[in-house]
């Protein structure tokens, strides 16, 4: 009789465990199948009007149309993009809070002595959106009319020309440091908390120069509001064919930023793949590709695995460059 009771108890326990496992597994499948069931947030660690903001809004449309849900772009500037990144790193891994970030995501791993998150382990990479070179631009009041003349002027007047920085430790900041190092010039850094405020002061003549992404700077150059000195890609850009590559005057110079989408770490694979497929399909659309290329961006759309490997490699690549620059967070 006692054995029968034990068998009955064991059978009940096994049934309960099976039911519990099924109950836990069911929501996971449901969440993946039903995702998304409410609005998605795309967090951007920069003010409106900058390149990261522009890139985020370019993919928000295809996401919303395909997933049939509202996609909200939310700007949370500050701390070199770390405020937005920390929010996403600590959010629930359910696909409703995403981060659109850029090269600073991997640069910050070396720039900041201590981050409130791990740039690799605390995120699920979804896809790299695009690679974007930058352009060295100046206020038209600067007397130098081309890159050679600008370098000569900077050498003749050390620390007299000012250069706006749309974020300490950003790719455009390090492009400026690399430019100064390779040309033997001294430009006075003027840091800002984002591209937009730096661009405003450049247009107003409060600063003389700035490295800015092609996405943000191309129209300003075409309209004559800014003078273009050179692009940071190895070749000239189709969007500005008359503007030389800086490497034509400064051999070996090159600097390119990347932009990508991240989710919190441990995002379910089914949701990861769903987001990746939607964004990659949006980037493959001819109209989207033409728009990005017109603005100087090269669409990418890689797999989550490829993007994750790139992020790890980029952290290692930037570490010695950040150290050599002597850059510190503002």
More confident of the two residues 202 and 22: 202
Return residue ranges of the chain for CATH 3.40.190.150. 38-132+257-325
- CATH (one of 3.30.950.10, 1.10.3720.10, 3.40.190.150, 3.40.50.300) for 38-132+257-325: 3.40.190.150
Q: Once rounded to an integer, what is the mean pLDDT over residues 240-268?
A: 95
Express as a percent the part of the chain with pLDDT over 70.
90
Question: Can you say whether residue 224 is alpha, beta or left, with left for phi > 0 and alpha for psi between -120 and 50 degrees?
Answer: left
Instruction: Give the C-alpha separation, 155 to 167, whole Å.
Output: 25
Return residue ranges of the chain for CATH 3.40.190.10. 133-248
- CA neighbours closer than 13 Å in the CB half-sphere of residue 167: 28
- CB-based contact 318:106 (threshold 8 Å): yes
For residue 118, count other CB atoms closer than 10 A to its CB: 11
Q: Once rounded to an integer, what is the mean pLDDT over residues 191-206?
A: 91
- Mean pLDDT of all residues belonging to the chain: 88
Instruction: Give the C-alpha separation, 56 to 81, whole Å.
Output: 14
Give the per-residue pLDDT at 166.
83
165-189 pLDDT, tens digit each: 987 778 888 899 889 999 999 999 9
CA diameter of the chain: 102
Model's pTM, two decimal places? 0.77
Instruction: Give the C-alpha separation, 298 to 194, whole Å.
Output: 22
Beta bridge partners of 256: 133
- CB-based contact 162:187 (threshold 8 Å): yes
| DSSP string across 1-49 | -HHHHHHHHHHHHHHHHHHHHHHHHHHHHHHHHH--SS-EEEEESS-TT
Question: Which residues, at least 6 apart from 27, have a Cβ–Cβ distance to it below 8 Å?
Answer: none
Q: Is the pLDDT of residue 243 over 90?
A: yes
Give the per-residue pLDDT at 320.
85
Under the banding of pLDDT at 50, 70 and 90, the label for residue 31 is low
Give the per-residue pLDDT at 27.
44
Give the per-residue pLDDT at 318.
86
Give the per-residue pLDDT at 12.
44
Under the banding of pLDDT at 50, 70 and 90, the label for residue 29 is very low
Instruction: Give the C-alpha separation, 281 to 277, whole Å.
Output: 6
Under the banding of pLDDT at 50, 70 and 90, the label for residue 193 is confident
For residue 200, count other CB atoms closer than 10 A to its CB: 15
Q: Is the pLDDT of residue 207 over 50?
A: yes
Beta bridge partners of 162: 188
Under the banding of pLDDT at 50, 70 and 90, the label for residue 231 is very high
Q: Is the pLDDT of residue 15 over 50?
A: no
| Class level of CATH domain 133-248 | alpha beta
47-104 pLDDT, tens digit each: 888 788 889 999 999 999 999 999 999 999 888 789 999 999 999 999 999 999 999 8
Instruction: Give the C-alpha separation, 263 to 265, whole Å.
Output: 6
The helices-and-strands tally (H runs, E runs) of the chain is 11, 10
Give the per-residue pLDDT at 232.
95
Does 36 sit behind a cis peptide bond, omega within 30 degrees of 0 on the bond before it?
yes
Give the per-residue pLDDT at 330.
63
- CB-based contact 77:45 (threshold 8 Å): yes
299-320 pLDDT, tens digit each: 999 999 999 999 999 999 888 8
């Amino acid at each position: 009789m006692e054995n029968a009771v034990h068998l009955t108890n064991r059978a009940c326990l096994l049934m309960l465990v099976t039911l519990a496992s099924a109950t836990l597994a069911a929501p996971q499948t449901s969440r993946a199948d039903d995702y998304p069931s409410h609005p998605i947030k795309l967090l951007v660690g920069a003010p409106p009007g900058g390149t990261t903001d522009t890139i985020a809004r370019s993919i928000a449309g295809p996401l919303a149309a395909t997933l049939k849900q509202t996609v909200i772009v939310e700007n949370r500037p500050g701390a070199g993009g770390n405020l937005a990144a920390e929010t996403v790193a600590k959010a629930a891994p359910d696909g409703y809070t995403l981060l659109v970030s850029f090269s600073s995501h991997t640069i910050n791993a070396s720039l900041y002595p201590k981050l409130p998150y791990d740039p690799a382990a605390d995120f699920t990479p979804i896809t790299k959106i695009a690679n974007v070179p930058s352009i060295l631009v100046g206020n038209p009041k600067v007397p130098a009319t081309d890159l050679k003349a600008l370098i000569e002027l900077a050498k003749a007047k050390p620390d007299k020309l000012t250069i706006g920085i749309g974020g300490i430790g950003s790719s455009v900041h390090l492009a400026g440091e690399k430019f100064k190092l390779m040309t033997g010039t001294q430009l006075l850094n003027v840091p800002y908390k984002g591209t937009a405020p730096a661009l405003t002061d450049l247009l107003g003549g409060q600063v003389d120069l700035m490295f800015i992404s092609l996405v943000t700077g191309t129209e300003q150059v075409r309209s004559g509001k800014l003078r273009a000195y050179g692009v940071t890609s190895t070749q000239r850009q189709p969007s500005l064919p008359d503007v030389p590559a800086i490497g034509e005057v400064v051999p070996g110079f090159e600097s390119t930023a990347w932009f990508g989408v991240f989710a919190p770490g441990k995002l379910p694979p089914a949701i990861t793949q769903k987001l990746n497929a939607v964004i990659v399909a949006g980037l493959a659309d001819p109209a989207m590709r033409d728009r990005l290329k017109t603005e100087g961006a090269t669409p990418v759309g890689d797999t989550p695995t490829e993007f994750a490997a790139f992020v790890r490699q980029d952290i290692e690549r930037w570490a010695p460059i950040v150290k050599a620059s002597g850059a510190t967070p503002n």
